[in-house]
Amino acid sequence: MDYEKYRQAINLRMSCRKFTGSPIAEADLDKLRALVCAYNEESGLSMQLIIGDPAPFDAKQAMGLFQGSAGYLALIGKTNDPNRMEKEGYFGERFVLEATSMGLGTCWVASSFDKDKSKAAARDDETFDIAIVFGKGEQKLSIREKVIRTYLGTNHRTQEDIAPDAQFAPDWFKNGIEAVMKAPSTKNTKPFSFCFENGTATAKTVGNHERVKVDLGIAKLHFEVGAGGGRWELGDGATYSGKL
Ligand SMILES: Cc1cc2nc3c(=O)[nH]c(=O)nc-3n(C[C@H](O)[C@H](O)[C@H](O)COP(=O)(O)O)c2cc1C
């Protein structure tokens, strides 16, 4: 993993809900397709890159939020995989950071679209949980986007809430938490906490909304990038290794 590239992408990224509608170069789409193949191989997920297909975002529950996107990544995995959602968070966010470093806008979408209208097809033993919409983002924030951001900004949990013992931890842990604070999460709730104990880190979910483990997977990736190495065990409450 190119930590420096990902660190820059973390600093640049913010959810993009308005796109220009212009197409993405075929070479860039090929790069995204190759990344998705590699992530599926590594994770056992069955994510699908869908180009075009605006129907799920034209549906009523999308409230016209994601007009002009180039496509989306459908996050699909085996229904009986207990770590499916965490992997979707971790590998989906890798896709987001790669797309960001290619100059594309992205947004995770759990509720503001209609899965049933999607061209993405989950098999009988799979579940389509969530999407990441992407495309060329509008440079200027729309008034609607500003309203959304102001509203979601009020959900913020502070660094003290998320990692109360960070001040007593080594720099790699502090850097990891700094990157975690920039992670996207459902309604900006940041439903996770990180501890430094016995010389290493552990991460667990807080609360139990439906996709809390997706948020955990995203946050674990951000931590790894911020810390500049190491690797998480899978699971809620799991341990980090490699940065001792
Ligand atoms: C798992 C997940 C699901 C999300 N679902 C939606 C959604 O349905 N609609 C939406 O407008 N934003 C959605 N978001 C985007 C969040 O609202 C956004 O990440 C959060 O407010 C923080 O803002 P930022 O991404 O600009 O840092 C989702 C984010 C995550 C991580």
Q: What is the pLDDT of residues 138-158, one digit of tens each?
A: 887 778 778 887 877 776 789
Report whether pLDDT(243) > 70: no
Q: 54-58, 129-133, 210-214: lowest mean pLDDT where?
A: 54-58
Copy the structure tokens of residue 79.
Answer: 């229904």
| 23 CA from centroid of ligand 1 (Å) | 23
Atom of ligand 1 nearest to the CA of 155: 21
Domains in the chain and their CATH numbers? 3-145 (3.40.109.10), 155-241 (3.40.109.30)
Contact of 235 with 202, CB cutoff 8 Å: no
Mutate to test the pocket of ligand 1, among 11, 15, 154 (most ligand atoms within 8 A of CB): 15
pLDDT digits (tens, 9 = 90+) for 71-125: 999 999 999 999 999 999 999 999 999 999 999 999 999 988 999 999 999 999 9
Which residue has a Cα nearest atom 21 of ligand 1?
188
Residue 107 CA: which ligand 1 atom is closest?
Answer: 15
Please tell me the residue having the least CA distance from ligand 1 atom 13.
109
221 lines ligand 1 (CB under 6 A): no
Ligand 1 pocket residue status of 110, Cβ below 6 Å:
yes
Task: Give 67's pLDDT tier (boundaries 50, 70, 90).
Answer: confident
Q: pLDDT per residue over 189-227, tens digit each?
A: 999 999 998 889 999 999 888 899 999 999 999 999 999
Residue to substitute in 10, 84, 106, 186 for testing ligand 1 pocket (most ligand atoms within 8 angstroms of CB): 186
Listed range (32-36, 153-157, 161-165) with the worst mean pLDDT: 153-157
